[in-house]
C-alpha cells in the first residue's frame, strides 16, 4: 500500500487520500457490530467519513476535473463516469449519515446492525469507485496538472475541509503511508496546526485502537 516518494506530489497525495478512504471505510464496516467498540467511537468515525468523502469528491467535481478538462478535453467521458459514481456515493453517504449511533441497551444490537449495513454499502461503493478512478486520474494528474496547480488545489482542499475528527486523518495517514509521504502531506497544513500534530497523533492512536480492538 505504500511507496517511496518516486511519483508526482499530486499522485502520491491522492493515493494516500484514497488509501485512507479504503482503510477507514473497512474499519467502520468491521467495527460497527463489535459490542466492545463504543457507539460514540463509531459515531466519530462515521462523521469523519461522511464529511471527508463528500468533501473529497466535491472538490474533484467542481475544482480538479475542470482543471484537467481544460488541458485534456478528450478524457471528459471518463471523468463524467466518475462523477456519476460520486452521485451513487452521495446516496450511500446519506444513508450512513442517517444511521443511529446511540441506543438503549435493548436496541443496541439492532442499531449496530443497521449501522454496519450502511457502512458496508459505503465501503463497497468507495472501493469500487477508487478502483475505477485511479487508472483515469493518476495518468491525468501526471500529464496535465502542474506542480504549482496541484499545490494551489491542495491548499484549497485543506482550507475548506470541515474540522470533524481531523485527528483521525493523521492516524490513518500513518497507517497507509511511509513517514516521508505523510510528512509531505502534513507540511501543507496551516502553520498554526503544526505544533498540535503530536497531540493529534496521540489522540488518533488511542481512538483507532478502540475502534480496532474495542475498549
Q: Which residue has the higher pLDDT, 5 or 180?
A: 180
Please tell me the distance from the alpha carbon of residue 179 to that of residue 64, in angstroms, as a whole number: 26
d(CA 156, CA 83): 20
CA distance 6 to 171: 23
CA 63 to each of CA 12, 87, 209: distance values in angstroms, whole numbers, following the listed order: 19, 16, 35
Is the model's pLDDT at 147 over the cut of 60?
yes
| CA 77/CA 83 separation, integer angstroms | 10
d(CA 157, CA 62): 11
Can you give the pTM of this predicted structure? 0.92
pLDDT over threshold 50, residue 199: yes
Cell numbers representing residue 88 in the block: 451513487
Amino acid at each position: 500500500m505504500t511507496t517511496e516518494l518516486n511519483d508526482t506530489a499530486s499522485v502520491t497525495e491522492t493515493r494516500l487520500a484514497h488509501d485512507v478512504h479504503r482503510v477507514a471505510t473497512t474499519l467502520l464496516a468491521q467495527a460497527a457490530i463489535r459490542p466492545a467498540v463504543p457507539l460514540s467511537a463509531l459515531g466519530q468515525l462515521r462523521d469523519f467519513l461522511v464529511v471527508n468523502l463528500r468533501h473529497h469528491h466535491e472538490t474533484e467535481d467542481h475544482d480538479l476535473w475542470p482543471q484537467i478538462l481544460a488541458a485534456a478535453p478528450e478524457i471528459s467521458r471518463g471523468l463524467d463516469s466518475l462523477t456519476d459514481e460520486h452521485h451513487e456515493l452521495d446516496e450511500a453517504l446519506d444513508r450512513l449519515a442517517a444511521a443511529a449511533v446511540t441506543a438503549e441497551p435493548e436496541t443496541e444490537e439492532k442499531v449496530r446492525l443497521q449501522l454496519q449495513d450502511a457502512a458496508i454499502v459505503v465501503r463497497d461503493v468507495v472501493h469500487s469507485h477508487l478502483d475505477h478512478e485511479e487508472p483515469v486520474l493518476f495518468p491525468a494528474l501526471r500529464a496535465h496538472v502542474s506542480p504549482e496547480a496541484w499545490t494551489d488545489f491542495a491548499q484549497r482542499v485543506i482550507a475548506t475541509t470541515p474540522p470533524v475528527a481531523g485527528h483521525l486523518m493523521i492516524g490513518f495517514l500513518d497507517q497507509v503511508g511511509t513517514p516521508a509521504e505523510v510528512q509531505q502531506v502534513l507540511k501543507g497544513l496551516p502553520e498554526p496546526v503544526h505544533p498540535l500534530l503530536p497531540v493529534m497523533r496521540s489522540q488518533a492512536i488511542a481512538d483507532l485502537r478502540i475502534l480496532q480492538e474495542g475498549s
